[in-house]
Structure 1
Amino acid sequence: MLSKKALSASLGRRGAIALAMAAVVTTSVGGCGLLGGDESSSSGGSGNLEKSKIKVAVMSTIDLAPLRLAQDGGYFKNEGLDVEAVEAGTGQISLTKLIGGEVDIAYASYTPFFIAMSKNTADIKLVADASSAGPKSTMLVTLPTSSVKSVADLAGKKIGITAPNTVSDTLSKSVMKDHGVDASKVSWVPVQLPNIGAALKNGDIDAGFLTEPFITQTAKQAGTVPVVDTATGATQDFPTAGYGSLGKFVSENPKTLAAFQRAMQKATRDAADRSKIEPLLVKYARIDQDTAALTTLLTFQSTLDPRRIQRVPDLLLQMGAIPTKIDVAPMIAAQATS
């Protein structure tokens, strides 16, 4: 493990800013941080909702901090909702649980939602936003001894991402394109975020995609350094993740959906107070307080803006991940006002 002096050098300016501005919330990706946990539900009354108990597929991501806050803080309960969080290992698994009827709402990065729509896999409706990639919250990293010193050095290298057609894939390819690097010549290696440091040390990859708290955690444990901030250029403040449902659930449960949206809107507003979020990182992400304090958060979002979300399928179309243009507006469910 690195000393404080070595860690400060490894994190550089990002670490200094995170420490100096510990009360300010920016955010990590999307969809790919770490915020699981055992406590998965809040209890509430039925009220006049069509369905008072709902299941939400979740992943181990920092983006879920507002949802955890809504659970621990009783925001769902105040809306008459009992929300059970169902763990899903990836966005694709989360989506599969939604399509299969195991859950009512699924959290995932936006990429799987739009790819499913492009293939007519399901009638996907987006019900709430979750996050955008803030500065220094999503990165390609490597080891100080690596030959990779800049984006240009990534050409022909082995790069670790969580999986194809995920936000890690999308952000990495986009930032490489911005710098004139041919992503088709890269070997993309599936590596789970907690294992990027070990994969780099073992020589399995030359660089790897990370989001928080793994950027901070891997810098402390493996001494990794940034190659490039992937939330720059075409993907600056890029929408990373959100909550989706099926058209049938949305049309049959408007009051239930509005209650979920109102609770998430309030929790997202309150998440601007970093003091409310850091304890959740320690509790659910099981990281130490020092790492939680250093972690650069994603920009938490809640109400969906079709103009902002349209950036995602437009970029996927440019990259050839989907075959035709998708209009986001008809996919967005009515948004509640709190």
Structure 2
Amino acid sequence: MFGIVRSSGRARARHTVLALAAATMLTGCGALGSADPNAAAGSELEKTTLKVSILPTTDLGPFWLAQDEGFFQAEGLSVDSVIAASGQASLTKAISGEADIAFSTYPPFFTATGTGAADMQLVADATSVNAKSNAIVTVPNSPVKTINDLAGRKIAITAKNTASDLLTRSVMQDHNVDFGKVKWVLIPLPNIAAALQQGEADAAYLPEPYITQAAKTAGAIPVIDINTGATQDFPLTGYGATRKWVRENPKTLAAFQRAMQKATHEALIDRAKVEPLLVRFAKIDEDTAKLLTLPGYGSILDARRLQRVPDLLLQLGAIPKPIDVNSMIGPQAGR
């Protein structure tokens, strides 16, 4: 060590050149400064490109923020979105391999596992019901005026055994309204306002931003807020993947989770960061983005809170036997 300190300037220069040459060979970089720090971060990941199936709703605010702010990129990930028509359709994309991770309302994850259709694990939380963020709505010319009028009517939902189905039936049950004779009309969220206007449905379950949009385009009015009774603060949406995918991609999953945790924190403390993303990605206008009620964002999975979902599914006959949520929660970064 002391010999190096006393060496001549020429010797020091020779040592420096050799050291730089060695570093270049090790990193595979052809020139100084050309190394990509994200490449180093992503080199340990099982996959650096992820496909995530999503629905264009306000629940995706933190996801779009993670993309826009470069949180995924900082973890060495390139994330592509695959649009799905419903939570069930999103889940199907993950099961088939078209997507790596699926965003969905929670019921499809539990019904798939409970019925043996797929072995799913939950990998990140997304949202809970907030006051006025989800509602059963109608239009002025509909025969439905109150929740008691829903019995025997045509009610639009996105798909059976999704949150739109489960939460609508739960709210009706809370008010002793018989849902046994309801005609369930399956309609994608973007088409529900028009269906209400045209009489194809007498009422509909809607989340934001569709509540605010339907109010502007079809004069839709709430029949009842979902954030009541048994569904108050109900776990609404999250991200999941097949157990096989989780087992084979632990580092990639952890990178996705870290990015989502950071983005969710940012979304919670600064709504102004979320609103322009809803305009860009959920295709809503600026006024709607400012007026709508955001859901309760979250990223860390809480088994006790989530247990409400399969318990309600079991109560409503959507799954044949109880499910312990702990058995479905995958590894979580930071825990």
Answer whether TM exceeds 0.5 for this pair: yes
Q: Which residue of 1 aligns with 2:70?
A: 74
Residue 218, structure 1, aligned to residue 214, structure 2:
yes
**1:111-139: CA deviation from partner (whole Å, max 9, x where unpaired):** 11111101212221110011111111111
**1:199-258: CA deviation from partner (whole Å, max 9, x where unpaired):** 222222211111111111111111111100012110111111111111122122211111
- The counterpart of 1:277, out of the listed 250, 274, 288, is 274
Percent sequence identity is: 59
Aligned length: 296
Structure 2 Cα separation of the partners of residues 148 and 224 of structure 1: 12
Q: Which residue of 2 aligns with 1:118?
A: 114
Counterpart secondary structure, 1:197? helix
Structure 2 Cα separation of the partners of residues 287 and 122 of structure 1: 34
Structure 2 Cα separation of the partners of residues 268 and 63 of structure 1: 11
Counterparts of 1:23-34 in structure 2 under 5 Å? none
Determine if contact 1:91/1:112 at 8 Å carries over to the other structure: yes
Which fold has the larger relative contact order, with Cα–Cα distance below 8 Å and residues 6 or more apart in sequence? 1
Structure 1 letter corresponding to 2:333 = A
- The counterpart of 1:106, out of the listed 102, 107, 126, is 102
- The counterpart of 1:141, out of the listed 103, 116, 137, is 137
Determine if contact 2:54/2:81 at 8 Å carries over to the other structure: yes
- The counterpart of 1:202, out of the listed 188, 192, 198, is 198
Structure 2 letter corresponding to 1:304 = L
Counterparts of 1:246-257 in structure 2 under 5 Å? 246-257=242-253
Deviation at 1:44, TM superposition (A): 4.5
Determine if contact 1:59/1:91 at 8 Å carries over to the other structure: yes
Structure 1 Cα separation of the partners of residues 322 and 104 of structure 2: 21
Q: Which residue of 1 aligns with 2:308?
A: 311
Closer, same or farther: CA 148–89 of 1 in aligned 2, 3 Å:
closer
Structure 1 letter corresponding to 2:322 = K
Counterparts of 1:173-192 in structure 2 under 5 Å? 173-192=169-188
Structure 2 Cα separation of the partners of residues 53 and 189 of structure 1: 37
Closer, same or farther: CA 314–81 of 1 in aligned 2, 3 Å:
same
In structure 1, runs of 5+ residues without a counterpart are 1-42
Counterpart secondary structure, 1:184? coil
Structure 1 Cα separation of the partners of residues 201 and 190 of structure 2: 14
Residue 336, structure 1, aligned to residue 333, structure 2:
yes
- The counterpart of 2:296, out of the listed 296, 299, 307, is 299
Determine if contact 1:155/1:185 at 8 Å carries over to the other structure: yes
Q: Give the TM-score normalised by the residue count of structure 1.
A: 0.84
Determine if contact 1:60/1:89 at 8 Å carries over to the other structure: no
Return the structure number with greater helix share. 2
Counterparts of 1:138-177 in structure 2 under 5 Å? 138-177=134-173
Structure 1 letter corresponding to 2:307 = Q
Structure 2 letter corresponding to 1:57 = S
**After alignment, is 301-310 or 242-251 more displaced?**
242-251
**After alignment, is 152-161 or 47-56 more displaced?**
47-56
Determine if contact 1:250/1:333 at 8 Å carries over to the other structure: yes
Deviation at 1:192, TM superposition (A): 2.2
Q: Which has the larger radius of gyration?
A: 2
Structure 2 Cα separation of the partners of residues 143 and 87 of structure 1: 28
Residue 63, structure 1, aligned to residue 59, structure 2:
yes
Structure 2 Cα separation of the partners of residues 167 and 176 of structure 1: 14
Structure 2 Cα separation of the partners of residues 65 and 50 of structure 1: 26
Structure 2 Cα separation of the partners of residues 219 and 48 of structure 1: 48
Determine if contact 2:88/2:159 at 8 Å carries over to the other structure: no
Q: Which residue of 2 aligns with 1:47?
A: 43
Determine if contact 2:85/2:188 at 8 Å carries over to the other structure: no
Structure 2 letter corresponding to 1:225 = I
Determine if contact 2:142/2:199 at 8 Å carries over to the other structure: no
Q: Which residue of 2 aligns with 1:39?
A: none
Counterpart secondary structure, 2:180? helix
Determine if contact 1:281/1:292 at 8 Å carries over to the other structure: yes
Structure 1 letter corresponding to 2:311 = D
- The counterpart of 1:236, out of the listed 232, 235, 239, is 232
Deviation at 1:148, TM superposition (A): 2.0
Deviation at 1:165, TM superposition (A): 1.2
Q: Which residue of 1 aligns with 2:13?
A: none
Closer, same or farther: CA 249–197 of 1 in aligned 2, 3 Å:
closer
Closer, same or farther: CA 208–258 of 1 in aligned 2, 3 Å:
same
Structure 1 Cα separation of the partners of residues 168 and 45 of structure 2: 42
**After alignment, is 155-164 or 189-198 more displaced?**
189-198
